Chains A and B, each alone.
Chain A
Amino acid sequence: GAVVSQHPSRVICKSGTSVKIECRSLDFQATTMFWYRQFPKQSLMLMATSNEGSKATYEQGVEKDKFLINHASLTLSTLTVTSAHPEDSSFYICSARDWQGASNNEKLFFGSGTQLSVL
Protein backbone atom coordinates (compact mmCIF):
# COMPACT_ATOMS: atom_id res chain seq x y z
CA GLY A 1 0.00 0.00 0.00
CA ALA A 2 0.88 3.66 -0.12
CA VAL A 3 3.46 4.92 2.34
CA VAL A 4 3.37 8.14 4.31
CA SER A 5 6.57 9.14 6.04
CA GLN A 6 6.53 11.53 8.98
CA HIS A 7 9.54 13.13 10.66
CA PRO A 8 10.69 13.57 13.30
CA SER A 9 9.16 10.78 15.34
CA ARG A 10 9.97 12.52 18.58
CA VAL A 11 11.01 16.06 19.44
CA ILE A 12 11.70 17.82 22.71
CA CYS A 13 11.93 21.58 22.65
CA LYS A 14 12.00 24.55 24.95
CA SER A 15 8.99 26.72 25.48
CA GLY A 16 8.87 29.57 22.96
CA THR A 17 10.64 27.78 20.15
CA SER A 18 9.09 26.61 16.88
CA VAL A 19 8.99 23.03 15.71
CA LYS A 20 8.49 21.80 12.15
CA ILE A 21 7.02 18.39 11.38
CA GLU A 22 7.25 16.95 7.87
CA CYS A 23 4.83 14.60 6.19
CA ARG A 24 5.75 13.00 2.88
CA SER A 25 3.87 10.70 0.56
CA LEU A 26 6.60 8.41 -0.70
CA ASP A 27 5.07 6.58 -3.63
CA PHE A 28 2.04 8.62 -4.56
CA GLN A 29 0.96 12.20 -4.99
CA ALA A 30 -1.23 13.71 -2.33
CA THR A 31 -3.08 16.87 -3.24
CA THR A 32 -4.65 16.79 0.19
CA MET A 33 -3.18 15.80 3.53
CA PHE A 34 -4.77 15.84 6.95
CA TRP A 35 -3.19 16.76 10.26
CA TYR A 36 -4.48 15.24 13.46
CA ARG A 37 -3.62 15.73 17.11
CA GLN A 38 -3.98 13.04 19.73
CA PHE A 39 -3.73 13.23 23.50
CA PRO A 40 -2.86 10.11 25.52
CA LYS A 41 -5.56 7.47 25.40
CA GLN A 42 -7.84 9.77 23.45
CA SER A 43 -9.12 9.96 19.92
CA LEU A 44 -7.64 11.79 16.96
CA MET A 45 -8.77 15.36 16.60
CA LEU A 46 -8.65 16.76 13.08
CA MET A 47 -6.71 20.00 13.11
CA ALA A 48 -6.60 21.00 9.48
CA THR A 49 -6.76 19.90 5.88
CA SER A 50 -3.64 20.73 3.92
CA ASN A 51 -4.19 21.55 0.25
CA GLU A 52 -1.35 21.55 -2.25
CA GLY A 53 -0.80 25.00 -3.66
CA SER A 54 -3.42 26.73 -1.55
CA LYS A 55 -4.20 27.66 2.02
CA ALA A 56 -4.98 25.02 4.57
CA THR A 57 -8.48 24.64 5.93
CA TYR A 58 -8.49 24.71 9.72
CA GLU A 59 -11.06 23.12 11.99
CA GLN A 60 -12.97 25.25 14.41
CA GLY A 61 -10.93 26.18 17.45
CA VAL A 62 -7.54 25.52 15.85
CA GLU A 63 -5.34 28.62 15.69
CA LYS A 64 -3.93 28.96 12.20
CA ASP A 65 -1.24 31.37 13.34
CA LYS A 66 -0.16 28.85 15.93
CA PHE A 67 -0.14 25.83 13.67
CA LEU A 68 1.27 26.84 10.31
CA ILE A 69 0.69 24.42 7.48
CA ASN A 70 2.49 24.50 4.17
CA HIS A 71 1.78 22.12 1.30
CA ALA A 72 4.22 23.28 -1.33
CA SER A 73 4.43 20.11 -3.38
CA LEU A 74 2.33 17.08 -4.19
CA THR A 75 4.39 14.94 -1.82
CA LEU A 76 5.17 17.18 1.13
CA SER A 77 3.15 18.94 3.79
CA THR A 78 4.66 20.56 6.86
CA LEU A 79 3.16 21.55 10.17
CA THR A 80 5.01 24.17 12.18
CA VAL A 81 4.07 24.65 15.80
CA THR A 82 5.06 28.25 16.46
CA SER A 83 6.12 29.56 19.86
CA ALA A 84 5.44 26.20 21.41
CA HIS A 85 4.16 25.96 24.97
CA PRO A 86 3.81 22.95 27.27
CA GLU A 87 0.10 22.68 26.44
CA ASP A 88 1.09 22.03 22.82
CA SER A 89 2.73 18.79 23.91
CA SER A 90 0.90 16.06 22.09
CA PHE A 91 1.09 13.36 19.43
CA TYR A 92 0.70 14.82 15.94
CA ILE A 93 -0.19 12.54 13.03
CA CYS A 94 -0.51 13.27 9.33
CA SER A 95 -2.41 11.29 6.76
CA ALA A 96 -3.21 11.26 3.07
CA ARG A 97 -5.24 9.43 0.46
CA ASP A 98 -3.84 7.79 -2.63
CA TRP A 99 -6.55 8.80 -5.08
CA GLN A 100 -4.60 7.34 -8.00
CA GLY A 101 -4.23 3.98 -6.31
CA ALA A 102 -6.36 0.88 -6.41
CA SER A 103 -10.03 0.87 -5.59
CA ASN A 104 -11.22 1.44 -2.06
CA ASN A 105 -9.13 4.59 -2.07
CA GLU A 106 -11.24 6.43 0.45
CA LYS A 107 -9.02 5.06 3.16
CA LEU A 108 -6.29 7.13 4.78
CA PHE A 109 -2.64 6.23 4.99
CA PHE A 110 -1.04 7.53 8.15
CA GLY A 111 2.41 8.65 9.06
CA SER A 112 3.92 7.13 12.18
CA GLY A 113 3.32 10.26 14.21
CA THR A 114 5.42 12.82 16.04
CA GLN A 115 5.51 13.01 19.81
CA LEU A 116 6.11 16.63 20.75
CA SER A 117 7.21 17.48 24.26
CA VAL A 118 7.55 21.14 25.15
CA LEU A 119 9.51 21.86 28.32
Chain B
Amino acid sequence: SQQGEEDPQALSIQEGENATMNCSYKTSINNLQWYRQNSGRGLVHLILIRSNEREKHSGRLRVTLDTSKKSSSLLITASRAADTASYFCATDSGGGKLIFGQGTELSVKP
Protein backbone atom coordinates (compact mmCIF):
# COMPACT_ATOMS: atom_id res chain seq x y z
CA SER B 1 0.00 0.00 0.00
CA GLN B 2 1.19 3.50 -0.73
CA GLN B 3 1.36 5.82 2.22
CA GLY B 4 2.79 8.99 0.85
CA GLU B 5 1.08 11.57 -1.22
CA GLU B 6 3.21 14.08 -3.00
CA ASP B 7 2.49 17.36 -4.61
CA PRO B 8 2.82 18.66 -7.09
CA GLN B 9 2.65 15.61 -9.35
CA ALA B 10 4.61 17.54 -11.94
CA LEU B 11 6.72 20.66 -11.71
CA SER B 12 8.38 22.59 -14.51
CA ILE B 13 10.85 25.37 -13.75
CA GLN B 14 13.73 27.27 -15.32
CA GLU B 15 17.35 26.62 -14.49
CA GLY B 16 18.44 28.61 -11.48
CA GLU B 17 15.03 28.60 -9.85
CA ASN B 18 14.23 26.68 -6.69
CA ALA B 19 12.02 23.60 -6.72
CA THR B 20 9.88 22.60 -3.76
CA MET B 21 8.15 19.24 -3.45
CA ASN B 22 5.86 18.19 -0.63
CA CYS B 23 5.05 14.82 0.85
CA SER B 24 2.35 13.80 3.30
CA TYR B 25 2.02 10.49 5.08
CA LYS B 26 -0.45 8.77 7.36
CA THR B 27 1.25 6.67 10.02
CA SER B 28 3.99 7.33 12.56
CA ILE B 29 7.49 6.97 11.19
CA ASN B 30 11.07 6.33 12.27
CA ASN B 31 12.47 8.31 9.39
CA LEU B 32 11.55 9.74 6.02
CA GLN B 33 13.76 9.52 2.97
CA TRP B 34 13.88 11.19 -0.41
CA TYR B 35 14.95 9.41 -3.56
CA ARG B 36 15.53 10.44 -7.13
CA GLN B 37 14.76 8.35 -10.20
CA ASN B 38 15.87 9.03 -13.72
CA SER B 39 13.53 7.68 -16.36
CA GLY B 40 13.73 3.90 -16.66
CA ARG B 41 16.34 3.56 -13.95
CA GLY B 42 16.60 2.54 -10.32
CA LEU B 43 16.32 4.98 -7.47
CA VAL B 44 19.14 6.87 -5.83
CA HIS B 45 19.01 7.90 -2.18
CA LEU B 46 19.24 11.64 -1.63
CA ILE B 47 18.68 12.39 2.02
CA LEU B 48 17.23 10.90 5.21
CA ILE B 49 15.58 12.80 8.05
CA ARG B 50 14.74 11.13 11.33
CA SER B 51 11.51 11.60 13.22
CA ASN B 52 13.24 13.71 15.89
CA GLU B 53 14.76 16.06 13.32
CA ARG B 54 13.04 19.07 11.81
CA GLU B 55 15.42 20.15 9.08
CA LYS B 56 18.37 18.74 7.24
CA HIS B 57 20.69 20.01 4.51
CA SER B 58 22.85 18.27 1.94
CA GLY B 59 24.44 20.44 -0.71
CA ARG B 60 21.63 22.12 -2.65
CA LEU B 61 19.01 19.99 -0.91
CA ARG B 62 17.01 21.03 2.11
CA VAL B 63 14.51 18.73 3.74
CA THR B 64 12.03 19.62 6.45
CA LEU B 65 9.86 17.32 8.52
CA ASP B 66 6.77 18.22 10.50
CA THR B 67 5.63 15.14 12.38
CA SER B 68 2.62 16.92 13.83
CA LYS B 69 1.31 17.50 10.31
CA LYS B 70 2.81 14.27 8.98
CA SER B 71 4.45 16.12 6.15
CA SER B 72 7.85 16.76 4.64
CA SER B 73 9.22 19.02 1.95
CA LEU B 74 12.23 18.79 -0.32
CA LEU B 75 13.75 22.00 -1.62
CA ILE B 76 16.28 21.98 -4.42
CA THR B 77 17.98 25.33 -4.72
CA ALA B 78 19.53 26.82 -7.85
CA SER B 79 18.19 23.99 -9.98
CA ARG B 80 20.04 22.64 -12.99
CA ALA B 81 18.85 20.84 -16.09
CA ALA B 82 20.54 17.71 -14.69
CA ASP B 83 18.10 17.79 -11.76
CA THR B 84 15.35 16.74 -14.15
CA ALA B 85 14.01 13.47 -12.71
CA SER B 86 11.23 12.03 -10.59
CA TYR B 87 11.51 12.53 -6.86
CA PHE B 88 9.93 10.22 -4.30
CA CYS B 89 9.54 10.40 -0.58
CA ALA B 90 9.57 7.14 1.35
CA THR B 91 8.60 6.43 4.93
CA ASP B 92 10.20 3.95 7.28
CA SER B 93 7.85 2.88 10.04
CA GLY B 94 10.05 0.07 11.27
CA GLY B 95 10.16 -3.51 10.06
CA GLY B 96 12.75 -2.64 7.44
CA LYS B 97 10.56 -1.80 4.48
CA LEU B 98 10.01 1.59 2.88
CA ILE B 99 6.69 2.78 1.54
CA PHE B 100 6.97 5.23 -1.32
CA GLY B 101 4.89 8.25 -2.20
CA GLN B 102 3.43 8.96 -5.61
CA GLY B 103 6.34 11.07 -6.73
CA THR B 104 6.91 14.46 -8.29
CA GLU B 105 8.13 14.70 -11.84
CA LEU B 106 10.51 17.64 -12.04
CA SER B 107 11.51 19.23 -15.31
CA VAL B 108 14.22 21.88 -15.28
CA LYS B 109 14.47 23.79 -18.52
CA PRO B 110 17.84 25.22 -19.54
Chain A residues close to B by CB (< 8 Å)? 4, 6, 32, 34, 36, 41-46, 49, 59-60, 91, 93, 95, 97, 104, 106-113, 115
Contacts and interface: CB of A to CB of B under 8 A. Distances in A.
Interface string B1-25: 1101000000000000000000000
A108 B96 CA distance: 10
Q: Which of B42, B43, B44, B88 counts the most A-chain CB atoms under 10 A from its CB?
A: B42
Given A93-B42, A107-B48, A41 B105 contact: yes
Interface string B79-109: 0000000001010100011111111010000
B97 A44 contact: no
B97 A34 contact: yes
A49 B103 contact: no
Interface string B38-62: 0011111100100000000000000
B92 A106 contact: yes
What band does the interface of chain B fall in when counting residues whose beta carbon is under 8 Å from A?
20 to 34
Given A4-B42, A93-B43, A106-B33, 8 more contacts: A42-B102, A43-B2, A43-B102, A46-B100, A49-B97, A95-B42, A106-B48, A112-B41
Interface of B: 1-2, 4, 30-31, 33, 35, 40-45, 48, 88, 90, 92, 96-103, 105
A44 B6 CA distance: 13
A32 B96 contact: yes
A51 B1 CA distance: 20
Given A60-B1, A108-B45, A108-B98, A43 B88 contact: yes
Q: Which of A49, A95, A115 counts the most B-chain CB atoms under 10 A from its CB?
A: A95
